[in-house]
Every structure is written in structure tokens, then in C-alpha cells.
Amino acid sequence: MDATDLARWQFGITTVYHFLFVPITIGLSFLVAGFQTAWSRTGDEKWLKLTKFYGKLLLINFAMGVVTGLVQEFQFGMNWSGYSRFVGDIFGAPLAMEALLAFFLESTFLGLWIFGWDRLPKRIHLACIWIVAVGTVLSASFILAANSWMQNPVGFRINPERGRAELTDFGAVLTNKVALITIPHTVAGAFLTAGALVAAVAMWHLVRRPGRDTGAFRSAVKLGSWTTLVAMAALLITGDVQGKIMTEVQPMKMAAAEALYTTEQPAPFSLFTIGTLDGSRPVWSLDVPRVLSFLATGTFDGRVQGVNDLQAEYAARFGPGNYAPNIPVTYWSFRLMIGFGVLAALFALWALWAIRKGRSPAPERRGTRFLMWAMITLPLMPLAANSFGWIFTEMGRQPWIVFGQMKTAVAASPAASSGDVITSLIVYTVLYGVLAVVEVGLLLHYARAGLPDVTPPPPAESDEDRPLAFAY
């Protein structure tokens, strides 16, 4: 493997890892803000307990998102200096704005929220968590605008003297149609993730610790499950629009997602396949007729271009070379993304069914045992769906790093040797592995601990003597 391959593995590993934490942070910050708002409105203590309980899980997770995010920003320069030189005029601005507009907001107001329970008036304290939540979406919007530019570059010109892309219309970058649909799709994925987590943990408590905080956990199962279901609906709608836009701006990605080698009209959707997918021999595939045409074009008899035709077209346009991404990876990651997402929604539906009309699952029933297994795997489903979604969209863009403008093969850092990159790859992989064990251990510990005691401390003699409401 050369330095570029190593750098790609590194980007893949660190990005997928980083994105395990990001969607939980985005979705959970809103749900925790919702719990705290409910407490503020009703005064019912169960909402305060849920705020603190899920707030703790949010913080354990947030820390990992922050520190792994540092790597992401440095990585462009460290491993991809060719890319950075070429796109910096365009790509750097959203990154800088993300830091200035969103990261400061998130980190500062999260600090105020964690430590400010007794230092701030109640309403301002509540506003802090809402500001954090808004900050997370702002952050997502900027970074997705940057990524969408790589998928569908707009608002720029190529300066041949400097050998770089230069910004001509920043508004076009922010309103890139790929960005406008990717942002809601990704945020919906974040809500799917957080909703599943909230519901699953609460359901576990309802069954395993019956009689303890039942009212609070029932509310959490309902809220979490409904969030998951609504998010799934949003994912299907946005995903559908995204598919059509993708067919328009990156037809090769759509063809690769389906392993569709020859152009077809109408084109069937392949549910499942057995074979090598390399196009050399026919593969057995379970097809639903005409559905791909609908997904790609919006009509049941639309024409969908195949890999071979697109390859010939691109070779004529960009010169000789292989313009198809890794088809088995795109084909399967696309299916796994959808599959895991749908499974999460089905499990959430099951949870709602299990507690319908004031019922609670009886621990001795066999169905309850299956339900418990479903709940334990439920938080993992959206995480897997998110990961496969990113693997699909990034692998599907290959061999381009900026579609149609720059190939990944020429984007790496000439100054970074294979030794450098392999060193950092090993460091990150080992470090991330160890931290994953620690983080999951803590999450399980606090998830199982149950709702905290929220009786206020006895009044202190003076403000000076009062112990901190929260301390590290």
C-alpha cells in the first residue's frame, strides 16, 4: 500500500469513528433540551431526572466527538495537502465558519450547562442546552456544505496559473442542492440514532428494574420511539430526493449502488444478490421491477444509465482511466444503510407496541426476552446505518476526491511519507480502540445506573460556602 492508500484507510477509520459520536450528540442534545423544557413547563420531577440521566450519557459521548473532531480538521492538511492546496479557497471557509459560529457556541454553552445548574437563572440555564443543540446542527450544516461541494462542485472556477479551484459564488456553495438535501437527511439520521438510544435504555429499565421510575421511563420509551419513527419517515423522504439528485449529478454513484452495468429502461431495484458483482458474469439477484427507475428518476419507466456506458462517457470526457467506484462496497453499503435504518424503526415500533395502553412487558414471557435482545441491539442499528451511509457516499465518489475536478490519487501529501502515515494510522487505531472500550464501559455503567436522585442540597449559609452543583 502506498501513502495514498494508507491515508484513505486513515480517513475512513477516523471519520467513521468520529461519526459514531456526532449523531448521538446532535440528536441527544435536542432530546435532553426537550426533557429539560418539559421539566421547566410542568415542574414534574421525572423530566428533571430524565434530563440529568440522558444528559450524562450526552456528556460522555460529547467528549469523544470533540476530541476525534480535532483529528478531522488537522487531517486535511497532514495527509491531504495536495487536496488542501487545490480546494482551500473554497473548502476552508465553511470549516473556519463551523469553528467560529458553531464550535465556540457548543463548547461554551455546554460548559455553562454542565456547571451552571446553580449559577444561572433557570430559564437561562435551559437556554444554554438549546443553544448547544442549535450549535450542533449549525456545525453539521457547514461541514456538510463542504462535503457536498466535493460531491457536486459549484460556485467556483479553475485558475490554471495557480492550479487551484477558486470561489466565485459562496451563496451557491451554501445552497448547493446536494447540501440542501444532505443536511436534513443527516440530521434525521442523528435523530434516529438518539431516539433509538433513549428508547432502548428506557425499555431495558422498564423490564429489568420494574417498579423503579416507571412513569419516567415509559415517557422516555414513547418519546424515543416516536422520534425514531418520525426520523425514519424523514430519512425515507429525504433519501428519495437525494437519490434523484445523485442520479443527476453523480450518475456513476447511482449505477454503482445498484451494480447496474448496462443502461436499462425501465430499471429494476435489486434487493439482494449472490455473486461477485464485478460485471464479468451474470449474478443471481432478487429484483423488484421498475423500482430503480422510480428511485432514480421519479417515473416507473425512467432510463437509468449503467456503469459501462458511464465509464465510456467519462473516459471520453476526462481521458483514459477507471471511473467506476468499488462496486461491491457501494452496492452493499447502500443496502446495509437502508436495512439497518429500517430495522431500527421496526424495533422502535415493537417497543411502542409492548407498552401500549399502559401495559408493560412481563419479564417471564418469552416475547419479552426477544424484545430485550432487540432493545440491546437497537442503539447499534442507526450507528451502523450512519456508517454505511457515509461509506457509500464517500466510496461512491471515487476515483474522485472532488467530483470531476480532482482525483484522489493526486490529493495526498507529498511531504508525508508512508512511514509517517502508517505511524499515525497505528496510533489512531490503537488509541481509538482503547477509548472505545472505555467509552462503552462508561455508557453501559451510567445507562444501567438508573435515574439520579434530584433532591436539592440543603441551603448553604452563604453563596461563598455553597458547594459546586457539579464538579469534575
The answer to whether 23 and 194 are in contact (CB under 8 A) is yes
As given in the structure block, the three cell numbers for residue 97 are 465558519
Residue 105 or 291 having the CB closest to another protein: 105
Could you tell me the end-to-end alpha-carbon distance of the chain, in angstroms, rounded to an integer? 44
Distance of alpha carbon 327 from alpha carbon 98, whole angstroms: 33
Least distance in Å: CB of 89 to another protein? 4
Distance of alpha carbon 458 from alpha carbon 411, whole angstroms: 61
Residue 211 or 320 having the CB closest to another protein: 211
Helix, strand or coil, per DSSP, at residue 395 = helix
Least distance in Å: CB of 78 to another protein? 5
Least distance in Å: CB of 378 to another protein? 13
Q: What is the DSSP string of 16-71?
A: HHHHHHHHHHHHHHHHHHHHHHHHHHH--HHHHHHHHHHHHHHHHHHHHHHHHHHH
Least distance in Å: CB of 397 to another protein? 21
Q: What is the DSSP string of 417-447?
A: -HHHHHHHHHHHHHHHHHHHHHHHHHHHHHH
* Phi, psi (rounded to 5 degrees) for 138: -60, -45
Least distance in Å: CB of 420 to another protein? 5
Least distance in Å: CB of 452 to another protein? 8
Residue 237 or 435 having the CB closest to another protein: 435
Least distance in Å: CB of 428 to another protein? 8
Residue 132 or 292 having the CB closest to another protein: 132
Residue 95 or 237 having the CB closest to another protein: 95
User: Residue 407 is inside which H or E element, if any?
Assistant: strand 406-407
Closest CA to 406 of 130, 86, 144, 115: 86
Burial class of 342 by CB neighbour count within 10 A (0 to 12, 13 to 18, 19+): middle
Residue 157 or 303 having the CB closest to another protein: 157
Residue 34 or 88 having the CB closest to another protein: 88
